[in-house]
């Protein structure tokens, strides 16, 4: 296993990096992650951040700048699943009524024909927000979908399609002391219980096409770096680029919970096999 991304920098011209589990570990940046990103850019490499974050790219850029990761210095561009969804929504030629389950800032609907429905019965789609817990006027992350199961069961009876712009089921959390559930967990429950879900985000190739639309280099010179086999690595494979799995995120945690200690063997069992492995970015 390679130690970090610098061991592989001579192989590629463009590095597509996931955020959570690769750069950020819930409460802080992974050791030397920002330093290595700066080194790559100084060495003439391009860095594109690609995230299943369900907000507009500009919203997320500001959030990370406040944490100390700056566009133009640490990375070149950022594409979120929320931005990709927004771009699709702009193409709608008639109003689409949505009903939100969970929490979401709703910035991706601004300027689009999507309007909030008065009731779930009157909605065209169910929009999967983040399954946060609401208590005493505050939203907080949680380790399972909890009370949302009952709400999802009621929505399932309406037979409305669901839109999920964050396919991740888990990611690092700064509140629960480990992994917190995300919108993908709601969508997974909905789908497994007979509902129809439209996903926008990794591993859907559409998100990669949006992120790489301006790239002129050959796909063989681009690599996706991620921590989750089912989204980052599979998504990179679907987009026709090489993939690099870190041993510090969701798939590594799942491996440990499965009682295994070899990430390569764990990946082989899933049938989603990355091109390379690294310990940390």
How far apart (Å, rounded) are the C-alpha atoms in residues 145 and 180?
9
* SS3 state of residue 98: strand
Residue 122: which domain range? 92-199
Stretches where the chain sits below pLDDT 70 are 172-178
Question: What is the CATH number for 132?
Answer: 3.40.50.1000
Q: What pLDDT is attached to residue 254?
A: 86
Assess whether 78 and 210 both reside in one domain. Answer: yes
- The answer for residues whose C-beta is within 8 angstroms of residue 163's C-beta and 6 or more apart is 85, 98, 125, 126, 127, 128, 197, 198, 200
Tell me what pLDDT residue 27 has. 83
- One domain for residues 31 and 113: no
**pLDDT per residue as tens digits for the range 68-94:** 999 999 999 999 999 999 999 999 999
Q: Are residues 60 and 121 in the same domain?
A: no
Share of the chain above pLDDT 90, in %: 83
Read off the pLDDT of residues 232-260 as tens digits, 9 standing for 90 and up: 999 999 999 999 999 988 888 888 888 98
> What pLDDT is attached to residue 172?
67
Both 219 and 260 in one domain: the answer is yes
What domain count does the chain have?
A: 2
**pLDDT for the residue 173:** 64
Q: Within its chain, how far is the Cα of 238 from the centroid?
A: 15
pTM listed for this prediction: 0.90
Nearest CA to 193 among 202, 201, 185?
185
Same domain, 69 and 99: no
188, 250: one domain: no
Domain identity same for 104 and 195: yes
């Amino acid at each position: 296993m390679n130690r970090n991304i610098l061991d592989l920098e001579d192989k590629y011209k463009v590095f597509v990096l996931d955020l959570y589990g690769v750069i950020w570990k819930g409460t802080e940046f992974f050791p030397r992650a920002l330093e290595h990103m700066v080194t790559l850019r100084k060495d003439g490499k391009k860095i594109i951040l690609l995230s299943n974050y369900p907000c507009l790219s500009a919203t997320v850029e500001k959030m990370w700048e406040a944490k100390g990761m700056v566009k133009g210095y640490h990375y070149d561009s950022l594409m979120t699943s929320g931005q990709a969804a927004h771009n699709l929504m702009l193409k709608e030629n008639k109003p689409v009524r949505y009903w939100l389950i969970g929490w979401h800032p709703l910035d991706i609907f601004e300027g689009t024909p999507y309007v909030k429905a008065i009731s779930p019965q009157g909605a065209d789609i169910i929009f999967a927000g983040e399954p946060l817990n609401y208590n005493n006027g505050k939203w907080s992350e949680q380790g399972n979908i909890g009370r949302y199961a009952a709400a999802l069961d009621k929505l399932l009876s309406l037979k409305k399609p669901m839109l999920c712009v964050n396919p991740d089921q888990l990611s690092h959390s700064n509140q629960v002391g480990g992994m917190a559930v995300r919108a993908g967990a709601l969508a997974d429950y909905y789908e497994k219980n007979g509902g129809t879900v439209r996903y926008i985000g990794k591993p859907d190739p559409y998100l990669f096409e949006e992120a790489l639309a301006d790239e002129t280099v050959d796909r063989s010179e681009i690599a996706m770096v991620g921590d989750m086999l089912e989204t980052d690595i599979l998504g990179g494979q679907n987009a026709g680029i090489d993939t690099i799995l870190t041993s510090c995120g969701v798939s590594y945690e799942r491996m440990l919970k499965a009682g295994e200690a070899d990430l390569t063997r764990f990946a082989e069992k899933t049938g989603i096999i990355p091109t390379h492995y690294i310990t940390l970015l």
